[in-house]
């Protein structure tokens, strides 16, 4: 069952990337807030199911205890949604999903979790891959960029901000993962973090707390978009965002239970961690995005490092 759940998470999160990208139009300056609305709605519905049908117990104390991780995850996703308006999904997804490398370094620095040689190789591969991806993106000539984007549905200009947004996602998401590892710890860390995060949570309530926090953010975003900005929503424009929210939530659900099989957690994590490679494939097929060989070489190196770190995360 772990293998099927891993494939479901792989497909769902790559699908979330694709539909989030489709729903993030460069001309719509509110698209990232609309994505927050969509994801918040779907996660809120799933949280209600978990509480009233699944029997998960939740309280304000749990929501507050998990808030540091929730805040980092949601902030990173908002920045990621903004970035999708300015850069190809093929470039954005591998950078965003490199957060495991930074999380591994944070765990090493603060939790004394010493990576072994293979894990260090994963960290180095991710770091070098992201740097090379940035170099390939920024050093490309305008003519070469125009030629490879000839058949693409959207044209992108060279921009440092466009590259910075997925990098910020990567860093902030890594902080969320690090906070996760502390809040969901099985034993004391022996550091000041035990004082900063005194409450230890289980995975089920923590996930529901995250979903309810996202729902609250979705409500705030809805007030901003609909009441303050008075923007109009259409099924055609918002449909992909809702599908992105469905895939994001389903992927999170499958991910939790795939890693719950501790005997195969390492294999499951490795499979799921490579979903950005599938996102690149979808962007090539459905969005007609085309990159240079330098881009694809850097992406291949990054994905290889992510797979190694997926095993480390388990």
Transcribe 249-276 into DSSP letters. HHHHHHHHHHHH-GGGHHHHHHHHHTHH
For residue 307, what pLDDT is reported? 83
Q: So what's the pLDDT on residue 284? A: 86
SS3 156: coil
Q: What is the dihedral of CA 101, 103, 108, 112, to 10 degrees?
A: -150
Which residues contact residue 272 at a Cβ distance below 8 angstroms, ignoring those fewer than 6 apart? 6, 9, 10, 13, 255, 258, 310
Q: Give pLDDT, residue 164.
A: 92
Measure the CA–CA gap between 147 and 180, rounded to whole angstroms: 43
Other C-beta atoms closer than 10 Å to the C-beta of 286 total 14
Cβ atoms within 10 Å, residue 115: 17
pLDDT at position 108 is 79
What does residue 143 show for φ and ψ, rounded to 5 degrees?
-65, -45
Q: What are the domain boundaries of the chain? A: 2-313
**Per-residue confidence (pLDDT) for residue 238, from 0 to 100:** 93
Q: Distances in Å between the alpha carbon of 50 and those of 2, 30, 68?
A: 20, 30, 22
| Res 61: pLDDT | 95
- Angle, vertex CA 167, rays to CA 161 and CA 171, nearest 5: 140
Measured distance CA(183)–CA(65) in Å, rounded: 8
What is the model's pLDDT at position 313? 57
pLDDT at 73: 94
Per-10-residue mean pLDDT of the chain, 314 residues long, equals: 86 95 91 96 96 95 95 96 91 88 82 76 88 86 76 74 91 90 80 84 91 97 96 91 95 80 64 84 89 90 85 60
pTM: predicted TM-score of the whole model, two decimal places: 0.89
Distance CA 9, CA 301 (A): 22
Residue 254, C-beta contacts closer than 8 angstroms, at least 6 positions apart: 5, 6, 8, 9, 12
Rounded to whole angstroms, the Cα distance separating 171 from 103 reads 8
């Amino acid at each position: 069952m772990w293998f099927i759940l891993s494939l479901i998470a792989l497909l769902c999160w790559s699908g979330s990337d694709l539909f989030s990208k489709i729903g993030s139009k460069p001309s719509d300056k509110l698209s990232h807030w609309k994505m927050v609305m969509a994801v918040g709605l779907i996660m809120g519905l799933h949280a209600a199911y978990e509480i009233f049908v699944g029997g998960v117990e939740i309280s304000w104390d749990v929501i507050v205890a998990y808030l540091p991780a929730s805040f980092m995850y949601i902030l990173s996703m908002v920045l990621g949604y903004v970035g999708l308006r300015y850069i190809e999904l093929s470039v954005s997804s591998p950078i965003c999903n490199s957060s495991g490398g930074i999380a591994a370094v944070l765990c090493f620095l603060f939790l004394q979790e010493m990576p072994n040689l293979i894990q260090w190789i994963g960290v180095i591969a991710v770091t070098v891959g992201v740097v090379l991806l940035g170099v390939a993106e920024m050093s490309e000539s305008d003519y070469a960029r125009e030629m490879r984007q000839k058949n693409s549905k959207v044209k992108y200009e060279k921009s440092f901000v466009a590259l910075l947004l997925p990098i910020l996602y990567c860093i902030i998401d890594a902080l969320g993962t690090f906070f996760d590892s502390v809040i969901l710890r099985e034993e004391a860390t022996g550091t000041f973090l035990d004082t900063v995060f005194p409450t230890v949570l289980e995975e089920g309530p923590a996930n529901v707390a995250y979903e309810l926090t996202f729902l609250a953010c979705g409500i705030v975003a809805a007030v901003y978009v609909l009441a303050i900005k008075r923007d109009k929503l259409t099924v055609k424009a918002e449909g992909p965002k809702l599908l992105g929210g469905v895939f994001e939530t389903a992927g999170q659900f499958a991910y939790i239970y795939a890693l719950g099989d501790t005997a195969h957690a390492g294999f499951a994590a490795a499979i799921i961690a490579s979903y950005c490679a599938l996102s690149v494939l979808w962007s090539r097929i459905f969005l007609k995005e085309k990159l240079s060989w330098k881009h694809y070489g850097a992406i291949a190196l990054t994905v290889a490092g992510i797979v190694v770190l997926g095993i480390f995360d388990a």
